[in-house]
Structure 1
Amino acid sequence: QEETEKRKILHNTLEDMKGRIRVYVRIRPLSETELKADYANVMTKEDERTCVMASDPVSGSEIKDWEFDKIFNGSEADGNTQEAVFKDTSLLIISAIDGFNVCIFAYGQTGSGKTYTMFGSNDRSERHQGLAPRVAHELFNKLQERESSHHIEVSVTMLELYTDKLGDLLTSKEEGYASDLKIRLAEHTSSGLVEVEGAKMERATNANELLDIFNRGAKGRASSSTKMNADSSRSHMIATVVLSLRNRRTGKVIHGKLTLTDLAGSERVAKSGAAGHQLKEAQSINKSLSALGDVIGALTSGGRQHIPYRNHPLTMLMSDSIGGNAKTLMFVCCSPADYNRKETANSLDFAKRCRNVTNNVS
């Protein structure tokens, strides 16, 4: 027991020393379409922590560089693999089992590789598995080590936020997919976690069951074709895994939470070719990401400033994942193509602000 406590303290101290909101940047390779169109690659990785954007002779902008916790750049041959991306992430799973709030979220413009990073490609091959399936396997491997000493329960919800409306991805449209879902902030729940009243919560007893829940949820997500991406996710998807570990000897219960969030693409409305309903989608996405920016701004300004979590359903859902006692990892997914220069710079500037947030992990 004492050894377990020591390990827990050491592990979580090491995680804290890496910075509270850790930011990893993932720059995808140029796509076939971009190569055919002869777009230039303007992004390079200077070292493990620094990425650089080339100067722009047209606008006269100078070379820009950003420093983050880790940079993944280029193709699989350059080490930008799904496995490498997961490797460093896997330590956070232990924190969730130890009773912390852990959030991994992906941010970036449409077509930058967010959904590929979080959930993988449609072919479901092991090589292309995203974070979610890898997390499922690693989580149950680690939980197995506690089975003899703890009674374990794993509960899952899958939600999407589409045009500012909250929907339950584990409930079919016929069953009342968006009926009466109510977000309750952590200060109003007995668990001390954000809860969504009315959301279907499913139990998973092994990695395959958890994967099945993830896949069913992802299948029902809203997507549509935009100028930027043929199959663009137009909703924010939030997968939440709540862990309950009851010590068989003492009866003491530990609650942990692991949230995987795939945010909808951020981009300029004009560039995405949005009109009519798609324009409404794009405006709604930008409004929610702007609210997230306001929360980040308040958290980085220091002092006892009010944090505007209640201003939008997205920030309410993420209120126990950003700030407070959460351990948060942000993936900023970027396109290296020169025609996406402005969006990539905006994503990296936003991520730089996120990196300045200090959570009070206790």
Structure 2
Amino acid sequence: MDEHQSKMDGPDDKPKGSVRVCIRVRPQLKREVVYRQVVEAVSDKVVHLLRDGSIVEAHFDRVFDQDVSQQEAYASVSDAVEAVTKGYNSTIFAYGQTGTGKTYTILGGSFTGKESVSAARDEPPSASKLGGRNELPKYAGIIPRAADELFQFAQQSALKAEKVDVFCTYLEIYNERMHDLLEPFKKSRKKDPLDVSRKKAGLELRDDPERGIYVPGSTVVKLTSAQSLMKILRRGNKHRTVRQTEMNQKSSRSHTILQLSVEQKVNRGDKAVLIRSKLNLVDLAGSERFPKMESEEERIQEQRTINASLSALANVIACITEKGRDHIPYRDSKLTHLLQELPWWKLPDDNCGDCLA
């Protein structure tokens, strides 16, 4: 008999922590040296911002200098991944201007390719799932390292006759419309005007007592390995909304949410218990300005919705950390609504929300 065990009431070893902010300082660019715009890591918790001869000091939970390795950066948020294996939801945010190294930190180096979802889904099981362990590349980012850890957990669970399945969805929020990055050009046999209308309006969020927050119509892929996830991401990233900015020739103008859903069938006495949890990896759009476009109205609307969404997220986090606050405005944006079911919205003293900037 299978029984669903709630992630809120399930494991006894609750993860401990708080909403943490980690800063990673990248090497300086030439223009930053010329204009004396420098961010300097002076300790593992303090940075100095130098601009035009003045210094501003800022304190964070963790500060990494430009020499930090990918493994060290991942170690700072790895407990969020571990919490998922214990039945809890976790989120890792990445935020920063275009060119600050978000993609390198989250995904790693050499992230290119043209694989299809079907090809990735049929990828043979990895060495980790077959009992061995693939050596991760030195420059692998947070997502491949997190996926590798989840499949290592699945392998260890199999030795105890317990089953662990990992599923993924990959969503984009652009101008407060949600899109499925894994099936952006899905063809139907018949021309369906409702399908065309849905694509223009975007996907909707739904609340369900059993499933929690979910997105009807989004593609859910059962993963066979960490490698299959990376191939799927390469395919999905081809369809992100990008635009030229003053910082870069190609800048992402949307939030993306990669959801890794973990289903564990564990043995508790004479019963089989089903435990569900999620790891959300969120790449937030930058709020920098960009050159004038052919459509000035489109440019203004795009920047306005990015800023409003980031402001809504900041408001939610501020409300979470404020003691005695009953109302959390998580429905103020698609992003905060999607992440509503995270335990750190509800349990600010026992949570695994992380931000890596």
Superposed displacement of residue 212, structure 1 = 2.0
User: What CA distance in whole angstroms lies between the structure 2 residues aligned with 1:205 and 1:303?
Assistant: 44
Aligned to 1:217: 236
Normalised TM-score (structure 2): 0.78
Aligned to 1:69: 61
Aligned to 1:25: 23
User: What CA distance in whole angstroms lies between the structure 2 residues aligned with 1:153 and 1:195?
Assistant: 18
User: What CA distance in whole angstroms lies between the structure 1 residues aligned with 2:325 and 2:354?
Assistant: 24
1:260-319, Cα deviation, whole Å (9 max, x unpaired): 00000023x4xx334423333222211111111221232233213311111111111122
1:190 corresponds, among 210, 214, 217, to 210
SS, match of residue 103 in structure 1: strand
CA contact (8 A) 2:109 2:140 kept: yes
User: What CA distance in whole angstroms lies between the structure 2 residues aligned with 1:26 and 1:190?
Assistant: 38
Aligned to 1:323: 345
User: What CA distance in whole angstroms lies between the structure 2 residues aligned with 1:55 and 1:312?
Assistant: 34
User: What CA distance in whole angstroms lies between the structure 2 residues aligned with 1:219 and 1:122?
Assistant: 15
Aligned to 1:120: 108
User: What CA distance in whole angstroms lies between the structure 1 residues aligned with 2:335 and 2:239?
Assistant: 19
Quickly say closer, same or farther: Cα 1:89–1:294, change in 2 above 3 A.
closer
User: What CA distance in whole angstroms lies between the structure 1 residues aligned with 2:109 and 2:250?
Assistant: 12
CA contact (8 A) 1:22 1:328 kept: yes
User: What CA distance in whole angstroms lies between the structure 1 residues aligned with 2:88 and 2:49?
Assistant: 36
User: What CA distance in whole angstroms lies between the structure 2 residues aligned with 1:169 and 1:55?
Assistant: 39
Aligned to 2:117: none
Quickly say closer, same or farther: Cα 1:88–1:294, change in 2 above 3 A.
closer
1:13-41, Cα deviation, whole Å (9 max, x unpaired): xx51xx31111111211125545xx2325
Aligned to 2:260: 241
Quickly say closer, same or farther: Cα 1:287–1:194, change in 2 above 3 A.
same
Amino acid at match of 1:65: E
User: What CA distance in whole angstroms lies between the structure 1 residues aligned with 2:104 and 2:209?
Assistant: 34
Aligned to 2:133: none
User: What CA distance in whole angstroms lies between the structure 2 residues aligned with 1:120 and 1:105?
Assistant: 15
Structure whose residues are more often helix by fraction: 1
Quickly say closer, same or farther: Cα 1:55–1:278, change in 2 above 3 A.
closer
Quickly say closer, same or farther: Cα 1:190–1:260, change in 2 above 3 A.
same
Superposed displacement of residue 169, structure 1 = 0.6
User: What CA distance in whole angstroms lies between the structure 2 residues aligned with 1:101 and 1:274?
Assistant: 40
User: What CA distance in whole angstroms lies between the structure 2 residues aligned with 1:274 and 1:164?
Assistant: 21
Amino acid at match of 1:296: I
For structure 1, the 5+ residue unaligned runs are 1-7, 333-362
CA contact (8 A) 2:319 2:325 kept: no
1:237-268, Cα deviation, whole Å (9 max, x unpaired): 0000110101256201111111100000023x
Quickly say closer, same or farther: Cα 1:259–1:293, change in 2 above 3 A.
same
Matches within 5 A, 1:250-329: 250-267=271-288, 269=289, 272-275=290-293, 276=296, 277-321=298-342, 322-325=344-347, 326-329=351-354
CA-based RMSD of the aligned residues comes to 2.4
User: What CA distance in whole angstroms lies between the structure 2 residues aligned with 1:141 and 1:39?
Assistant: 47
Superposed displacement of residue 45, structure 1 = 1.6
Matches within 5 A, 1:79-98: 80-98=68-86
Superposed displacement of residue 104, structure 1 = 0.6
SS, match of residue 182 in structure 1: coil
For structure 2, the 5+ residue unaligned runs are 1-10, 113-135, 188-194
CA contact (8 A) 2:47 2:58 kept: yes
Instruction: Indicate yes or no: 2:34 matched with 1:46.
Output: no
SS, match of residue 250 in structure 2: strand
1:199-241, Cα deviation, whole Å (9 max, x unpaired): 1111012222222222222222111211111111111000001
User: What CA distance in whole angstroms lies between the structure 2 residues aligned with 1:250 and 1:65?
Assistant: 55
1:141 corresponds, among 152, 177, 191, to 152
Superposed displacement of residue 166, structure 1 = 0.4
User: What CA distance in whole angstroms lies between the structure 1 residues aligned with 2:74 and 2:45?
Assistant: 17
Quickly say closer, same or farther: Cα 1:123–1:110, change in 2 above 3 A.
closer
Aligned to 2:130: none
User: What CA distance in whole angstroms lies between the structure 2 residues aligned with 1:128 and 1:70?
Assistant: 20
